[in-house]
Amino acid sequence: MTPTSMTAVDSAVDAAVSAAPGWAAAPPETRAAALTSVAAALEGARADLVALADEETRLGEARLNGELTRTTFQLAMFADAVRAGAFHDARIDRPDPDRPNGPRPDLRRCRMAVGPVLVFAASNFPFAFSVAGGDTASAWAAGCPVVVKAHPGHPRLSRRTAEAIRAAGLPDGVFGLVEDAGEGEGEDAGVAALRHPGVAAAAFTGSQRGGLALAKIAAERPVPIPFFAEMGSVNPSVVTPRAAQTRGDEIVQGYAASLTLGAGQFCTNPGLLFAPAGLVDRIARRVRDVPDAPMLNDRIGSAFVAGADALAARPGVRRLVWPDDPSSTAPRLLATDLDAFDAAAAEECFGPLGLVVAYERLSDLPGVLAALPGQLTASLHAEPDEAADLAASAAVLAGRAGRVLWNQWPTGVSVTNAMQHGGPYPATTAPSTTSVGTAAIERFLRPVAFQGWPQELLPPPLRDDNPWNVPQDVR
């Protein structure tokens, strides 16, 4: 990486502070057009971007082309959300002197941009969760300038993406990029930017270690700020005995494919599976047939090997699929029994590692599932006529995860209006928010109520003439 000087970090944040009022006040079509222009600029640089990403991440051009398409689609989706304006949540209460509980004044409430947002780019999605990814796009849509801390895993791609963004013609200060030479997440330039008083909120996708360290800094500032960290999980999945008996082959194939997709380098990787004992060996045979794939870099590969070894050393855990070469990043599968399972083992090991917990009675699962830490996802594989009998397990899973799936695997995270990509701690630091989908905009807004204000001084979403044509809830 090319380290960013502390002076340059200050300049990037100061520029964002200067740009914030104008960007927040920009009409919806101006913001939407900017998002669309960035998408077009990325599309125009596709060949360069994908080639650079492949060189730096080893993810393969097919996967990277798909991810870039996801990224440009995401920008277009947020442009549409800006035009629609529902996220302003404009509420207008007309004066009512005869209200039973006392006179009501003219009161108007909407959500307003918080100000400059610092985005920490992720390693495993060099487009969709990086410089021009969902955090950046949703902050722009909210009306917030963005300063991105580039990830050291793909520095040249980060700079090339920044060039494309700047070519799109955004106003000065609406986008900035800082980078450092550190090996870990959030070192040097990122920490300096996080401590800058001009930063109003920050978003992070990465490890629990990195996320919690940065969240601590955000909380200990003289003026603490929201820190939205998505830190991964083991994404537990449950297979009922009926489902295993009825469509065991389909479940085995689906689990192995989801577990090893992209060398297991997804925060939604199904790393923990509760299954009937008879299914365990079948899963092992299928995982054993999956060829190994390169991981993002040697550091991540070494961390995967160390994490897998640590989990394998836990009492009651046995190795089902394990490479002869101890340094290999080939898929690994471990197994244990429900009686020996320790919820403390439910810690993400970034890569193609699965732990299968064999059980005998479905009635034993709710208590075990309730002891799991917070998760991004949880999945239940069952037969349709079992639904009524699974109410207890379903309720527990919904209480532990941000997204619960029925007869599906969690790896894919659709970019759509209703998506929830978040979950209870320690999956994230902000369980009520999402980093994917149009609701991601809400992270970078705060509600403000205006009581008795003249029309000329109200923000456009609250005016009677509604110049931005946003939905208004008028009472």
In the chain (475 residues long), the average pLDDT of successive 10-residue segments reads 78 98 99 99 99 96 98 99 99 96 97 99 97 99 98 96 98 96 60 98 96 98 98 96 97 98 95 97 97 92 96 96 96 97 87 97 94 97 93 95 98 97 98 98 99 99 99 98
- pTM as predicted: 0.95
What confidence score (pLDDT) does residue 344 get? Answer: 77
Class of CATH domain 236-406: alpha beta
Catalytic residue among 67, 185, 230, 348, which? 230
- 400 conformational bin, left if phi > 0, alpha if psi -120 to 50, beta if neither: alpha
- For residues 50 and 68, the answer to whether their CB atoms sit within 8 Å is yes
**Three-state DSSP state, 393:** helix
Where does 365-469 show beta strands of DSSP type E? Answer: 375-381, 401-406, 445-451
Q: Enumerate the β-bridge partners of residue 201.
A: 117
Domain segments of the chain as ranges: 6-231+428-474, 236-406
Annotated catalytic residue 230: yes
Q: Which two tokens stand for residue 449?
A: 């109520």
Annotated catalytic residue 456: no
CA distance 274 to 355: 9
Distance between alpha carbon 69 and the CA centroid of its chain, in Å? 17
Q: Which two tokens stand for residue 235?
A: 């994404």
Q: Which residue has the tokens 């009677």?
A: 464
Q: Using the 8-state DSSP alphabet, how is residue 262 labeled?
A: G
- C-alpha dihedral (198, 201, 207, 212), degrees to nearest 10: 80
CA distance 248 to 264: 22
What confidence score (pLDDT) does residue 10 get? Answer: 95
Residue 370: closest CA among 190, 245, 236, 280? 236
- From 3.20.20.100, 3.40.50.280, 3.40.605.10, 3.30.110.70, which CATH number describes the 6-231+428-474 domain? 3.40.605.10
**Exposed / middle / buried, residue 182 (Cβ in 10 Å: 0-12, 13-18, 19+):** middle
Q: Is the peptide bond before 426 cis (omega within 30 degrees of 0)?
A: yes
Catalytic residue among 67, 110, 185, 267, which? 267
What confidence score (pLDDT) does residue 2 get? Answer: 61
